[in-house]
Homo-oligomer: A and B are copies of this chain.
Amino acid sequence: MASSWGQQLKITLFGESHGPAIGVVLDGLPAGEPLDLETLQAFMDRRAPGRTPWSTPRKEGDRLSILSGVYRGRTAGTPLCMIIENTDARPRDYGQVHKVPRPSHADYTGRIRYRGAADPRGGGHFSGRLTAPLCAAGAVCKQILARKGIEIFSRIAELGGISDVPTDTANPDLTKLRTLADKEFAVLDDGKGREMVELVEKARSQGDSLGGIVQCFAVGIPAGIGDPVFGGVESRLASLLFAIPAVKGVSFGDGFAACRRKGSENNDPFCLTAEKEVRTLTNHEGGINGGITNGMPLVFQVGIKPTPSIALPQRSVNLETISEETLVIEGRHDPSIVPRAAVAVEASAAVAITDLMLTAFGVQGWGGTYHV
């Protein structure tokens, strides 16, 4: 637990926002899987800060260094460690943090949990920056899953109260979904995207921030993957997704909306395709029944709260003088973390699905060619 996750594929995150480096170890990957390093880095770039007006101006190339687990361009099967050096750390921005905790950040709880010994700069190990190695892990898994015919997409379904267009979760338009990765703002309706960007810029100018909802789709997962009870797809995905800072809700299929419907409206009837394959007419369940995949697209939503780092003055407490104080956060921050969180959500899905597939098939059952 804590900073390790997974049953057959174990990932371990480490690092602090302003320490020497952040990184991840993936243990249990199938061996012999080719890794395209450019594609890997391109996925990282989707999350990297400083690239768009609506992300923090902190400049980090987020260049991955692979320390182990890759041999001649393929996964070796042994633990794969990737690190990212922190190059643009400005720890002085955070001098006050361990005295006057920022509201709705982990400064206060981290101080108690770690008895005042943890690195408070930029949130330390609690920083959103830890999603960079999570994305690196996901980028590796995405390449491996693609070879099994599994594709994963994420979009900004809602931001600042504005919704992207609804989509047919039973028959998603893959051509459209495949365009999302290349967009600066990952929505299906670019008009709605422009409205969201305007809201984000307005929030920034006001020293405020906005939350939103990320929606994620995974297609091509075979039916029968997942375990009952605590090993279900929802349980495993949720435990990973709630590790992304700012996530406050996770729902599958139609989620909380389903809770307002009748059974006759919400059930997904089974039908046959022309090829006599079993599927469901609708996909209110998001591709999961009883924790196990049913072969329909896996669909889930992740609620992202507004970035707690805002420029407006806030009420807090000085933990040394034990007195109330007004806090003004300096440093560099995203007025909305949603666009970058979407990439972390997509990465988490890739990691979780790889672990689920490896639980079902094992590293030997996974197959693949001997390349020596």
**Is A323 in contact with chain B by the CB < 8 A criterion?**
yes
B contact residues around A242 at 8 Å (CB): 232, 234-235, 238, 291
* Segment at the B interface, from A45-53, A60-68, A140-148, A166-174: A60-68
**Is A274 in contact with chain B by the CB < 8 A criterion?**
no
B245 contacts A290, C-beta separation under 8 Å: yes
How far is B159's CA from A34's CA once the two chains are assembled, in angstroms?
45
Shortest Cβ distance from A227 into B: residue:
B2
B contact residues around A23 at 8 Å (CB): 67-68, 81
* Segment at the B interface, from A9-17, A36-44, A176-184, A187-195: A9-17
Pick the residue among B101, B360, B365 that contacts A360 (CB under 8 A): B365
Shortest Cβ distance from A368 into B: residue:
B115
A1 contacts B236, C-beta separation under 8 Å: yes
Task: Across the A-B interface, give the 9 residue pairs with the lowest CB-CB distance, nearest first.
Answer: A365-B365, A106-B290, A249-B251, A116-B372, A112-B224, A209-B263, A109-B292, A32-B117, A362-B362
How far is B264's CA from A319's CA once the two chains are assembled, in angstroms?
22
B contact residues around A12 at 8 Å (CB): 4, 10, 12, 25, 27, 79
B contact residues around A13 at 8 Å (CB): 79, 229
For the complex, count residues of A whose C-beta is within 8 A of B.
Answer: 161
**Is A239 in contact with chain B by the CB < 8 A criterion?**
yes
Question: Which residues in chain A, 95-131, are within 8 Å of chain B measured between CB atoms?
Answer: 98, 101, 103-119, 123-126, 130
B68 contacts A19, C-beta separation under 8 Å: yes
Pick the residue among B19, B27, B65, B125 that contacts A3 (CB under 8 A): B27
B229 contacts A267, C-beta separation under 8 Å: no
Q: How far is the CB of A345 from chain B (nearest CB, A)?
A: 13
How far is B308's CA from A217's CA once the two chains are assembled, in angstroms?
23
B contact residues around A8 at 8 Å (CB): 7-8, 359, 362
The CB with the most chain B CB atoms within 10 A, among A160, A285, A288, is that of A285
B contact residues around A261 at 8 Å (CB): 211, 305-306
- A133-174 CB mask vs B (1 if < 8 Å, else 0) is 000000000000000000000000010110000000000000
A78 contacts B372, C-beta separation under 8 Å: no
**Is A201 in contact with chain B by the CB < 8 A criterion?**
no
Shortest Cβ distance from A69 into B: residue:
B14
A263 contacts B306, C-beta separation under 8 Å: yes
How far is B245's CA from A173's CA once the two chains are assembled, in angstroms?
30
- A228-254 CB mask vs B (1 if < 8 Å, else 0) is 111110111011101101011111111
**Is A5 in contact with chain B by the CB < 8 A criterion?**
yes
B contact residues around A22 at 8 Å (CB): 68
**Is A258 in contact with chain B by the CB < 8 A criterion?**
yes
**Is A205 in contact with chain B by the CB < 8 A criterion?**
no
How far is B315's CA from A231's CA once the two chains are assembled, in angstroms?
29
